[in-house]
């Protein structure tokens, strides 16, 4: 249709008398503007050769240079620019075009010179060049200068923010990304950078608000959900933290859940549970609310899915802690036993940090055994605890004889033996 419209311009039929009345009913562009639009349409459709003919006749040099470059004819583009520079040596646009083709900063610098330092295009090009070669401080300064000349350039503020971020000027980066979202509220990358910068600056409330904007625009990135969940915990919004974890599990098939995040949630639930179980005034003891029970149940569903996918010692430890506050000491002991076994191996007796974690898990396991034994009046769990402690202490004395953990294990063994003796002195005990 467009080619027929352009072709009809040079036809004598229909006559002028028939055409003139229609000019009041139709917005008809000028002939050069119509031909330029046709040429751009040809370029978008891949007919660059035909477009070149049109641009040459209209003397649209920028369009012509673009066509030569898109066809890989850089030498022809350079020849055309040089020919134009002979006629207009002080045209900054031509110097910028030459810089685009030759990838030479000197051309952009010449453009600034002939424009009395007013060529925004040259400043942007130099800023990008500085960024690409790693000179982020210079890139930041150039982007600032470019945006001072034209503050409505859509991608400029984001580029300034990126350069400032690389230059470690966090406040400048934050200001730039903020202006970027003012121009384009749907720029989720800018919102995400704003949220991340607030995280770095420990401003959790502002970060939480920014992440909410990010998630309106992009809900398919588990990394964003993970950052959001940490910020939600910082501001005390447990509901949002649980929602974030569920989204992470959905997006990663339960494979990329942060143990640190789960530990924070578990610690929060344990603290809430302790506040219900212990009170300075026994008469005002409270029970967990419906919401708290829902949190515990939801965490249980999450951790149960995770241990099916990844049976790590951290996950088994979290499962054990959840089982304890859920009131199931048997499941808690089973999970702790699996955690202890996950630590076992040659490394545990060579790596001091791994041994400390192993010792803490062993202590917790034996304490749970003591609780179970007391509740069901059985010595079986005490025998298991004593045997495990004996073996652990025997190995630990060879490698970690002076550690605090070893002393705690020995103290726990003594406690187990004392409890066992009390059982033996009591009648009607289950064995």
DSSP sequence for 234-271: HTT-HHHHHHHHHHHHHHHTT----HHHHHHHHHHHHH
Report whether pLDDT(425) > 70: no
Higher pLDDT: 161 or 43? It is 161
Question: In terms of Cα–Cα distance, which of 175, 126, 116 is closest to 151?
Answer: 175
DSSP string, 115-132: TTS--HHHHHHHHHHHHH
What band does 276 get if pLDDT is binned at 50, 70 and 90?
Answer: low
pLDDT at position 312, please?
87
What band does 427 get if pLDDT is binned at 50, 70 and 90?
Answer: very low
Q: What would the pLDDT profile of 131-146 be if each residue is shown by its tens digit?
A: 999 999 999 999 999 9
Largest CA distance in the chain: 123
User: Using CA of residue 160, residue 166, residue 172, residue 173, what is the dihedral sign?
Assistant: positive
340's CB contacts (< 8 A; 6+ apart) are 358, 361, 362, 365, 388
**Tokens coding 195:** 């949220």
State the average pLDDT for the chain.
88
- Return the ∠ at Cα 177 (arms to 176 and 182), rounded to 5°: 95
Mean pLDDT throughout 389-407?
87
**What is the rounded radius of gyration, in angstroms, for the C-alpha atoms of the chain?**
36
Residue 14: DSSP 8-state: S
Are the C-beta atoms of residues 319 and 299 closer than 8 Å to each other?
no
Residue identified by tokens 């630590």 is 343
pLDDT at position 280, please?
45
126's CB contacts (< 8 A; 6+ apart) are 105, 108, 109, 112, 142
The Cα-based distances of 291 to 244, 278, 295, 298 in angstroms read 17, 19, 6, 10
Q: For 86-95, 114-123, 248-257, 270-279, which range has the lowest pLDDT when averaged over its residues? A: 270-279
**Tokens coding 425:** 């002195």
Mean pLDDT throughout 399-417?
88
Q: d(Cα 133, Cα 135) in Å, to the nearest integer?
A: 6
Run of H or E residues at 174:
helix 170-183
Higher pLDDT: 83 or 281? It is 83
The Cα-based distances of 182 to 69, 150, 164, 165 in angstroms read 35, 15, 18, 19
Q: Return the domain boundaries, the chain.
A: 1-59, 344-431
Report whether pLDDT(278) > 90: no
For residue 378, which phi and psi values (nearest 5 degrees)? -135, 140
Q: What would the pLDDT profile of 367-388 be if each residue is shown by its tens digit?
A: 999 999 888 878 888 899 999 9
Q: d(Cα 11, Cα 346) in Å, to the nearest integer?
A: 92
- pTM reported for the whole predicted model: 0.81
Are the C-beta atoms of residues 204 and 174 closer than 8 Å to each other?
no
Residue 208: DSSP 8-state: H
Report whether pLDDT(277) > 70: no
Report whether pLDDT(49) > 90: no
Are the C-beta atoms of residues 324 and 300 closer than 8 Å to each other?
no
Q: d(Cα 66, Cα 43) in Å, to the nearest integer?
A: 10
Q: What would the pLDDT profile of 8-33 be if each residue is shown by its tens digit?
A: 666 767 777 777 777 777 777 888 88
pLDDT at position 239, please?
93
Strand partners, 430: 378
For residue 154, which phi and psi values (nearest 5 degrees)? -60, -45
pLDDT at position 236, please?
92
DSSP string, 31-95: HHHHHHHHHHHHHHTT-HHHHHHHHHHHT-HHHHHHHHHHTT-HHHHHHHHHHHHHH-TT-HHHH
User: Using CA of residue 127, residue 130, residue 131, residue 136, what is the dihedral sign?
Assistant: negative
Long-range contacts of 417-421 (CB under 8 A, 24+ apart): 417/386, 419/370, 419/373, 419/374, 419/382, 420/379, 420/382, 420/383, 420/386
Report whether pLDDT(2) > 90: no
Residue identified by tokens 């400048």 is 172
């Amino acid at each position: 249709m467009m080619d027929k419209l352009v072709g009809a311009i040079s036809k004598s039929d229909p006559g002028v008398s028939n055409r003139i009345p229609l000019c009041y009913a139709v917005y008809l562009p000028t002939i050069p503007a119509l031909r330029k639009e046709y040429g751009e349409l040809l370029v978008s459709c891949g007919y660059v050769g035909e477009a070149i003919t049109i641009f040459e006749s209209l003397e649209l040099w920028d369009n012509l240079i673009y066509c030569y470059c898109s066809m890989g004819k850089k030498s022809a583009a350079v020849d055309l620019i040089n020919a134009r520079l002979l006629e207009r040596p002080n045209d900054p646009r031509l110097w910028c075009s030459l810089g685009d083709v030759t990838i030479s900063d000197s051309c952009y610098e010449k453009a600034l010179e002939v424009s009395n330092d007013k060529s925004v295009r040259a400043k942007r090009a130099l800023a990008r060049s500085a960024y690409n070669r790693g000179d982020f401080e210079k890139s930041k300064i150039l982007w600032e200068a470019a945006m001072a000349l034209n503050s409505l350039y859509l991608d400029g503020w984001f580029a300034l923010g990126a350069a400032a971020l690389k230059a470690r000027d966090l406040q400048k980066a934050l200001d730039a990304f903020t202006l970027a979202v003012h121009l384009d509220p749907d720029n989720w990358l800018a919102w995400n950078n704003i949220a991340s910068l607030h995280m770095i600056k420990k401003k959790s409330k502002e970060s939480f608000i920014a992440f909410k904007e990010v998630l309106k625009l992009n809900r398919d990135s588990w990394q964003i959900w993970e950052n959001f969940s940490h910020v939600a915990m910082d501001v005390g919004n447990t509901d949002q933290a649980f929602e974030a974890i569920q989204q992470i599990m959905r997006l990663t098939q339960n494979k990329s859940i942060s143990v640190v995040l789960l530990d924070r949630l578990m610690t929060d639930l344990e603290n809430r549970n302790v506040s219900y179980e212990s009170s300075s005034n026994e008469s005002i003891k409270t029970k967990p609310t419906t919401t708290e029970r829902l949190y515990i149940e939801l965490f249980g569903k999450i951790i149960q899915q995770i241990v099916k996918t990844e049976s790590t010692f951290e996950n088994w430890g979290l499962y054990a802690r959840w089982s304890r506050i859920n009131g199931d000491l048997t499941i808690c002991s089973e999970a702790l036993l699996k955690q202890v076994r996950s630590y076992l191996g040659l490394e545990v007796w060579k790596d001091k940090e791994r041994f400390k974690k192993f010792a803490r898990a062993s202590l917790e396991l034996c304490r749970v055994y003591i609780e179970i034994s007391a509740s069901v009046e059985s010595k079986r769990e005490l025998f298991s605890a004593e045997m495990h402690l004996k073996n652990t202490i025997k190995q630990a004395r060879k490698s970690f004889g002076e550690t605090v953990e070893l002393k705690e294990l020995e103290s726990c063994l003594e406690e187990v033996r004392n409890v066992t003796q009390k059982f033996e002195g009591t009648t009607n005990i289950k064995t």
